[in-house]
Structure 1
Amino acid sequence: MPLNAEARTLLDLLEQLGAPPFETLDPVEARAARADMAPPILDSCFETLDLNAGGVPARLYRPEPSDEIPGLLVYFHGGGWVIGDLQSHDNVCHALCVGSGHAVLSVDYRLAPEAPFPAGLDDCIEATTWAHAHAQELRIDPDRIAVGGDSAGANLAAALCHGAPVPIRFQLLVYPVTDAHTDSASYEENREGYFLTKAAMEWFIDHYLAGNHASRDDPRVSPLLASDEAFAACPPALVITAGFDPLRDEGIAYAERLAAAGVTTSHVHFPGEIHGFFSLPHMLGEARSAHALAARALADALAPAS
């Protein structure tokens, strides 16, 4: 399938703007460049609250009040473990809260290389554990918690689910990083020209592992390499992938491993899309479709037991 026309227009615009590749910047410059690209909010939830989730900065998104206590999606933003923050994915969290009718807790985990692996993963585990323990304060059901994220955030969600610190009902994985070896066919097919490049991913991974606390073979870094037993213990999942994405093949492989382990898994592929499309509903119609799909899956997964 050819590249989506809207995605082509977006890539042409980025080329005209002459934005420097992330791998040519230092992390501070890259974060500033990403901050300048923060998308607008299309769907505003009922209420947001910035809070401290066990020592980890976070933002809570509340749905419209109702007689039913909502579930909670704990969301980990993308950005290669190096860039991104609460603001960069504010639009995504608003949309998922509004669309699903459940609360969302966005986690501002520590970033590499200043805080390399496992700092970000530790923060995600801490915030999820805190949310479960403080469910009454958050006004959510502790038995209906999901985790999710996009790209590096989906990597963190997947890794968390292999040793979940609290019961997790569902995982939402949007073009996840699942194998840090960067040697799949999709890395070669999409190594440059489609927003996320192979060179950028090498830059991100090198920064994430800068502390030398793990290798690319560690399942906490490359969740695709986890044991069959770890996969079998995972919660149901929705995995979203994009055709013109270096991460395409590892996302597909991850969905296949979940399903082979007996985990209820939905895999939805957007063959004409690029990495990052999920964050751009103001520019890409398929992003809006993906938001609706993810929100429906969350609504179903976090529905109270009948």
Structure 2
Amino acid sequence: MILNAPTQAWLTRIAALGRPEYDDFATERERRLVESAQLSDGFVGALPGGITVREHRVGDGLLVREVRGQAADGPLPAYLLLHGGAFWHGSATESVNMVIAANRALQAGVAVFLADYRLAPEFPCPAAIDDTIEVLRWLQQEAGTLDLDPSCLLLGGISAGANIATAAAARVTGEGLIAGLVLEVPAVDLRPDGSWDERFAAINGLDSTEDMTRLYAGGLPADHPDISPVLVDVTAFPATHIVTAEYDPLRGGGEILATRLREAGVRVTATRHLGALHGSLGLTGADPIAQAWQDDVSSALRRLVVATGA
């Protein structure tokens, strides 16, 4: 395994922060947000200028943060992006997610929406899937008010967020709601006998899929399509782009899903980023590999927008 200098420095910073024991999930979530802010310094890059940020409340108060370029002329394509965090942590307001969203809004000319979906274990599956579908329908229904193009609604997710996005897409495929799907390092195969690659577990700080399943599944088996959406019916999926990382124990699930989509006749593109870890996107401000990943996704978003005629 060959890691470049920025990745090695990032891993050293993570090791220095440590992983203390914690008493409850709420406390640990707060600690992770602080840690994320500390990791952002020198690695993620600054929040770019020229953006407008607004906050919305959907349904029973679910926070949705909107990021768009100030110079962009509407109505804009909408891109709902689901953050990662192993189903139990992460936030729409986290600095790394804001920088990622802002850069994509500027580079792809889309309005990015970050949703604070409900987290496990307090809210196990299918709560996050239900939240995602609720936000998708809200974006469609409020397109006029939000200055959006209702014919170009894109859905994406990172890691656990890509799992949720895939499961949500499977539920609404017959509605024509989603015009395109972008899945980054998707944690879509949580089966204990699935595609997990143990060789890359330790370097990523990932123990196994069992911990994620235990927290998220809510009693469902790991081979249920809502838990391992690599198994969903993909025949009516929208055009999809999948990003995987070379040194990611979850890489196999994303690549299996890409193959299944291709075999089903879905228009699919896929990129394996060489030298990347599962979380390398968090180094966008310091690492050429992460910058290439970000550029890859922005290019995919632009292609999906063009394909809809928006």
Q: Is TM-score (shorter-chain normalized) higher than 0.5?
A: yes
* 2:282 paired residue among 279, 283, 286: 279
Which of 108, 111, 115 aligns to 1:103? It is: 111
CA contact (8 A) 2:78 2:148 kept: yes
- Gaps (5+ residues) in structure 2? none
1:116-159 superposed Cα distances (whole Å, 9 cap, x missing partner): 11111111110111111110011000000000010000111111
Specify the alignment match of 1:177 in structure 2. 187
Q: 2-side partners of 1:106 and 1:45: how far apart?
A: 18
> Which residue does the alignment assign to 1:72?
78
Q: Does the 8 Å contact 1:144/1:168 carry over to 2?
A: yes
Q: Confirm whether residue 48 of structure 1 aligns to residue 49 of structure 2.
A: no
CA contact (8 A) 2:65 2:93 kept: no
SS class of match (2:171): coil
Partner of 2:125: 117
Query: What is the 5 A alignment of 1:219-298?
Result: 219-226=225-232, 230-298=233-301
In structure 2, the residue matched to 1:34 is 32
Q: Counterpart of 1:142 in 2: which secondary structure?
A: strand
SS state at 1:296 partner: helix
TM-score when scaled to structure 2?
Answer: 0.89
Stretch of structure 1 that moved more, 42-51 or 145-154: 42-51
Aligned match for 1:146, one of 154, 175, 180: 154
Could you tell me how far apart the structure 2 residues matched to 1:252 and 1:143 are?
A: 28
- Cα deviation, 1:172-199, whole Å, max 9, x if unaligned, reads 100001111144464311121x233124
Structure 1 residues 262-281: Cα deviation after superposition (integer angstroms, max 9, x where no partner): 11111111121111111331
User: Are the equivalent residues in 1 in contact too, given 2:276–2:290 (CA < 8 A)?
Assistant: no
What is the alpha-carbon distance in structure 2 between the residues aligned to residue 206 and residue 66 of structure 1?
43
Q: Is the 8 A contact 2:188 2:228 kept in 1?
A: yes
- 174-183 or 277-286, which moves further after superposition? 277-286
Q: How far 1:67 moved relative to its partner?
A: 4.3
Asked if 1:196 is matched to 2:205, the reply is: yes
Cα deviation, residue 202, structure 1: 2.7
User: 1:17 maps to which residue?
Assistant: 17
* In the alignment, structure 1 residue 82 sits paired with structure 2 residue 88: yes
| Partners of 1:290 and 1:44 in 2: CA distance | 21
Q: 1:247 to 1:57 in 2, by over 3 A?
A: same
Q: Are 1:58 and 1:86, in contact at CA under 8 Å, matched by a contact in 2?
A: yes
Aligned pair partner of 2:222 in 195, 211, 216: 216
- TM-score under structure 1 normalisation? 0.90
Shift of 1:45: 4.9
8 Å CA contact retained: 1:150, 1:174: yes
Moved more, 4-13 or 52-61: 4-13
Name the CA shift for 1:204/1:290 in 2 (closer, same or farther; >3 Å). same
1:94 & 1:190 partners in 2: Cα distance?
30
Distance 2:299 2:54 in 1: 24
Q: Is the deviation greater in 233-242 or in 57-66?
A: 57-66
Q: Aligned partners of 2:236, 2:187: CA distance in 1, in Å? A: 20
CA distance 1:28–1:276, shift in 2 (3 Å):
same
SS of equivalent to 1:16: helix
Give me the whole-angstrom Cα distance separating, in 2, the residues matched to 1:12 and 1:94.
27
Task: Name the amino acid aligned to 1:219.
Answer: P
Match of 1:305 in 2: 309
Equivalent in the alignment of 1:134: 142
Are 2:130 and 2:168, in contact at CA under 8 Å, matched by a contact in 1?
no
Maintained 8 Å contact 1:232/1:262: yes
Q: Which amino acid aligns with 1:168?
A: I
Would the alpha carbon gap of residues 107 and 270 (structure 1) be closer, same or farther in structure 2, given more than 3 Å must change?
A: same
Listed as ranges, the gaps of 5+ residues in structure 1 are none
Q: 1:138 to 1:186 in 2, by over 3 A?
A: same
Q: CA deviation at 1:204?
A: 2.5
| Distance in 1 (alpha carbons) for counterparts of 2:134 and 2:272 | 31
Shift in alpha-carbon separation, 1:81–1:259, aligned structure 2, 3 A:
same
SS at match of 1:162: helix
- The alpha carbon displacement at 1:68 in A equals 4.7
Q: Percent identity?
A: 30
The whole-number CA distance in structure 2 between the counterparts of 1:178 and 1:130 is 25
RMSD of aligned C-alpha atoms?
2.0
**How many residues matched?**
297
Quote the Cα distance in structure 2 between the aligned partners of 1:202 and 1:104. 32
CA distance 1:28–1:204, change in 2 (3 Å): farther
Residue 47 of structure 1, CA deviation: 0.5
Q: How far apart in 1 are the matches of 2:81 and 2:55? A: 14
